Amino acid sequence: MRFAIPVVLILAAVSLQAGVFVPPSPQPIFPDDYTVSTCAPATCETFSPDDFRNAAFRFLGLNVDAAWFDKHQDELVELIGPYCRKRNTCLATPGNGHLFCDDLITPGIRSSCDAKYPKDKDPHGFEECSAWVETFALGMSQQSLPAWREAQACAKPAAVMHGDEPEVWMAPETIPADYTGYLTIFALDRNTHVPVFGHILWDGQIVWAPSNPTGETATYYPFKGPFKLTRVPNEQGHTDVIAPLLTIKYDYYPAMQYRLPVTIPKLSLELKTDANFKRAGKHTVRVVALDVDTAKLVELQVMLGEQAIGASNADIIIERTKGKKLPELWVTSLFDRYNDAVVAPAEK
């Protein structure tokens, strides 16, 4: 096989995860024990065997080995069969769109060549198989709309609003507050074990999923950080930083709220004062603030009561008046990364 035009066109064949590193799911995203829909199409329509070579060249810019394609056509159809059957049940699941179902199983179709034709042992077979599955996936996506319409027409009359929310999880399972990589939220019907498409709405911010044809964040489509943390009041009269709250809406399941499992960083604080700090007069103090996990200095705003008096890890002058008690000394993060924290309580 040789490329007739730039290989980057291959990435246009399907959208999900194209050119994106996505952390692997901690559990199967489409388990093999799913319930097959009686409305599922019998096959995955794609380019006819006679048109495969022309389609590979015309749409993907690939010159393929036609003899290899002809010889291995049947075994390749069998190879991607399990993915095809999952996709067809997905098409027949009310609320799932045809592009979603195609995108859902395309990464599996792409990876099916790895074991059948190992690249290190059969490089020619691997290249031709890769070209075949890319061509198959493209033809499948081009012809999925009629199959989806027929499957939905069959399935929707019996569709009901489910009482239980789908099972939801995320990959990676937890992220740090400054995470800038990709993550994915998954949703699975608890009974049928079929993936469920859900629209993801953000509280107070906009996040895009570049691999979703519509650009919106949705289940199974990777989206990228960083994510804006929010503040909520705490019992000490200050505020804590919490992860963003998402709302996931489905067509046939109750809407649900999901808070991103973000690990909020913690502070280690130490107040350094001169020996005569309790006496009236001017005193030099320093609030040493470290990140517990990294042991690095943290830039915070130091507050005395309601007044900002300086920055952490720098000398601050506090003037004490005889007979007057100092209010609470505390710190806050101007970048909404750390919880407010009390350094010294108000004097009594």
Tens digits of per-residue pLDDT, 213-244?
899 999 999 999 899 999 999 998 999 999 99
Using an 8 Å Cβ cutoff, are 203 and 222 in contact?
no
Rounded mean pLDDT of 129-133?
93
- Contact (CB, 8 A) for 332 and 298: no
Q: CA-to-CA distance for 207 and 224, rounded, in angstroms? A: 8
Domain 267-344 in this protein, CATH class? mainly beta
Say which residues have a Cβ less than 8 Å from residue 189's Cβ, sequence separation at least 6: 93, 162, 166, 167, 195, 196
Residue 124 pLDDT more than 50? yes
Confidence of residue 292 (pLDDT cuts 50, 70, 90): very high
What strand order describes the sheet that includes 256-259? 199-202, 245-249, 256-259
Q: What is the pLDDT of residues 244-288, one digit of tens each?
A: 999 999 999 999 999 999 999 999 999 999 989 989 999 999 999
- Using a pLDDT cut of 70, give the percent of the chain over it: 94
Report whether pLDDT(3) > 80: no
Q: What are phi and psi of 228, to 5 degrees?
A: -75, 125
4 vs 115, more confident: 115
The segment(s) of the chain belonging to CATH 2.60.40 are 167-263, 267-344
What does CATH list as the number for 167-263?
2.60.40
Q: Specify the pTM.
A: 0.84
